[in-house]
Amino acid sequence: MSTKIAIINGPNLNFLGIREPSVYGAETLDEINDEISAAAAARNVTVQFFQSNHEGAIIDHLQQCYYDSVQGIILNPGALTHYSYALRDAISSVNIPCIEVHLSNVHSRDEFRHKSVTAAVCKGQICGFGYFGYILALDALINNFGGTK
Protein backbone atom coordinates (compact mmCIF):
# COMPACT_ATOMS: atom_id res chain seq x y z
CA MET A 1 0.00 0.00 0.00
CA SER A 2 1.42 3.41 -0.90
CA THR A 3 2.31 6.05 1.67
CA LYS A 4 -0.64 8.30 2.53
CA ILE A 5 0.11 12.02 2.92
CA ALA A 6 -2.35 14.79 3.85
CA ILE A 7 -1.96 18.31 2.45
CA ILE A 8 -3.74 20.79 4.69
CA ASN A 9 -4.17 24.50 4.00
CA GLY A 10 -5.57 27.01 6.46
CA PRO A 11 -7.38 30.34 6.34
CA ASN A 12 -7.47 32.39 3.13
CA LEU A 13 -5.46 29.89 1.12
CA ASN A 14 -8.61 29.07 -0.88
CA PHE A 15 -8.17 32.64 -2.17
CA LEU A 16 -4.83 31.98 -3.86
CA GLY A 17 -4.78 33.46 -7.36
CA ILE A 18 -6.92 36.37 -6.13
CA ARG A 19 -5.10 37.20 -2.92
CA GLU A 20 -1.97 39.40 -3.19
CA PRO A 21 -0.49 37.58 -6.23
CA SER A 22 2.75 39.57 -5.88
CA VAL A 23 3.26 37.86 -2.50
CA TYR A 24 1.63 34.45 -2.98
CA GLY A 25 1.87 33.88 -6.75
CA ALA A 26 -0.76 33.66 -9.48
CA GLU A 27 -1.67 29.97 -9.11
CA THR A 28 -4.97 28.98 -7.56
CA LEU A 29 -5.06 26.35 -4.80
CA ASP A 30 -6.57 23.87 -7.29
CA GLU A 31 -3.65 24.46 -9.67
CA ILE A 32 -1.15 23.98 -6.85
CA ASN A 33 -2.92 20.80 -5.76
CA ASP A 34 -2.71 19.51 -9.36
CA GLU A 35 1.08 20.07 -9.28
CA ILE A 36 1.29 18.22 -5.95
CA SER A 37 -0.85 15.34 -7.29
CA ALA A 38 1.45 14.96 -10.32
CA ALA A 39 4.56 15.01 -8.08
CA ALA A 40 2.94 12.48 -5.71
CA ALA A 41 2.04 10.14 -8.58
CA ALA A 42 5.64 10.29 -9.86
CA ARG A 43 6.84 9.36 -6.35
CA ASN A 44 4.24 6.64 -5.88
CA VAL A 45 2.61 8.21 -2.81
CA THR A 46 -1.06 8.97 -2.22
CA VAL A 47 -2.09 12.52 -1.35
CA GLN A 48 -5.34 13.90 0.02
CA PHE A 49 -6.26 17.58 0.18
CA PHE A 50 -8.09 19.67 2.77
CA GLN A 51 -8.55 23.41 3.17
CA SER A 52 -10.53 25.32 5.75
CA ASN A 53 -10.86 28.88 6.97
CA HIS A 54 -11.81 27.53 10.41
CA GLU A 55 -9.32 26.58 13.12
CA GLY A 56 -11.59 23.92 14.65
CA ALA A 57 -12.24 22.26 11.28
CA ILE A 58 -8.47 21.97 10.71
CA ILE A 59 -8.04 20.43 14.17
CA ASP A 60 -10.90 17.98 13.45
CA HIS A 61 -9.19 17.08 10.19
CA LEU A 62 -5.81 16.52 11.88
CA GLN A 63 -7.51 14.14 14.33
CA GLN A 64 -9.19 12.39 11.39
CA CYS A 65 -5.71 11.93 9.85
CA TYR A 66 -4.81 9.96 12.98
CA TYR A 67 -7.85 7.67 12.63
CA ASP A 68 -7.15 7.26 8.90
CA SER A 69 -3.53 6.22 9.58
CA VAL A 70 -2.12 9.06 7.48
CA GLN A 71 1.68 8.75 7.54
CA GLY A 72 2.72 12.34 6.85
CA ILE A 73 1.23 15.84 6.88
CA ILE A 74 2.14 18.93 4.88
CA LEU A 75 0.53 21.91 6.57
CA ASN A 76 0.29 25.56 5.61
CA PRO A 77 -1.59 26.95 8.61
CA GLY A 78 -1.85 30.50 7.13
CA ALA A 79 -2.06 33.15 9.85
CA LEU A 80 -2.88 30.46 12.46
CA THR A 81 0.87 29.73 12.33
CA HIS A 82 1.53 32.83 14.32
CA TYR A 83 -0.84 32.37 17.25
CA SER A 84 -2.77 29.10 17.35
CA TYR A 85 -1.71 27.07 20.38
CA ALA A 86 -4.76 24.85 19.75
CA LEU A 87 -3.38 23.92 16.33
CA ARG A 88 0.07 23.35 17.81
CA ASP A 89 -1.42 20.99 20.41
CA ALA A 90 -3.34 19.13 17.68
CA ILE A 91 -0.15 18.63 15.64
CA SER A 92 1.66 17.16 18.67
CA SER A 93 -1.39 15.10 19.69
CA VAL A 94 -1.65 13.16 16.45
CA ASN A 95 2.06 12.35 16.43
CA ILE A 96 2.31 12.19 12.63
CA PRO A 97 5.42 13.71 10.98
CA CYS A 98 4.37 17.17 9.84
CA ILE A 99 6.13 19.73 7.66
CA GLU A 100 5.10 23.37 7.83
CA VAL A 101 5.02 25.19 4.49
CA HIS A 102 4.63 28.88 3.66
CA LEU A 103 4.48 30.19 0.12
CA SER A 104 6.06 33.49 1.10
CA ASN A 105 9.26 34.09 3.05
CA VAL A 106 7.57 34.95 6.34
CA HIS A 107 10.89 36.15 7.78
CA SER A 108 11.17 38.98 5.27
CA ARG A 109 7.66 40.24 5.99
CA ASP A 110 5.77 41.82 8.93
CA GLU A 111 7.27 41.25 12.38
CA PHE A 112 4.23 39.23 13.53
CA ARG A 113 4.91 36.68 10.77
CA HIS A 114 8.43 35.96 12.04
CA LYS A 115 7.12 33.83 14.87
CA SER A 116 5.60 30.40 14.30
CA VAL A 117 4.00 28.70 17.31
CA THR A 118 3.51 25.55 15.24
CA ALA A 119 6.98 25.02 13.68
CA ALA A 120 8.47 23.65 16.92
CA VAL A 121 6.16 20.62 16.81
CA CYS A 122 6.82 20.02 13.10
CA LYS A 123 9.75 18.13 11.56
CA GLY A 124 10.74 21.34 9.85
CA GLN A 125 9.57 24.45 8.07
CA ILE A 126 9.89 25.40 4.38
CA CYS A 127 9.12 28.96 3.34
CA GLY A 128 9.73 31.39 0.52
CA PHE A 129 9.63 29.05 -2.49
CA GLY A 130 6.00 29.52 -3.55
CA TYR A 131 4.06 26.38 -4.43
CA PHE A 132 7.34 24.47 -4.95
CA GLY A 133 7.60 24.41 -1.15
CA TYR A 134 4.85 21.76 -1.08
CA ILE A 135 6.88 19.58 -3.47
CA LEU A 136 10.01 20.06 -1.36
CA ALA A 137 7.97 19.04 1.69
CA LEU A 138 6.76 15.92 -0.12
CA ASP A 139 10.36 14.88 -0.78
CA ALA A 140 11.37 15.74 2.79
CA LEU A 141 8.59 13.51 4.14
CA ILE A 142 9.42 10.63 1.78
CA ASN A 143 13.06 10.93 2.83
CA ASN A 144 11.92 10.90 6.48
CA PHE A 145 10.18 7.55 5.89
CA GLY A 146 13.44 6.17 4.53
CA GLY A 147 11.86 5.73 1.10
CA THR A 148 13.19 6.73 -2.29
CA LYS A 149 11.94 9.35 -4.73
Between 13 and 71, whose beta carbon lies closer to ligand DQA? 13
What single string gives the DSSP state of each residue in 35-83? HHHHHHHHTT-EEEEEE-S-HHHHHHHHHHHHHTT--EEEEE-GGGGGT
Nearest residue to 90 via CA among 64, 114, 116, 125: 64
CA angle 53, 59, 65 (to 5 degrees): 115
Interaction of residue 125 with ligand DQA, rule CB under 6 A:
no
Q: Is 102 considered catalytic here?
A: yes
CA–CA gap between residue 69 and residue 64 (Å, rounded) = 9
Active site residue 82: no
Whole-number minimum distance, CB 130 to ligand DQA, in Å? 9
Chain positions 41 to 100 lying near ligand DQA, rule: CB under 6 A, are 76, 78-79, 81
Can you tell me which of 36, 58, 59, 103 binds ligand DQA, judged by CB under 6 A?
103
Per the residue annotation, which of 24, 61, 131, 134 is the catalytic one? 24
Short-list 118, 111, 39, 40, CA closest to 76: 118
Within residues 5-44, the interface with ligand DQA by CB under 6 A covers 12
Catalytic choice (54, 83, 102, 107): 102
Residues carrying an active site annotation: 24, 102
Residues binding ligand DQA (CB under 6 A): 12, 76, 78-79, 81, 102-104, 106, 113
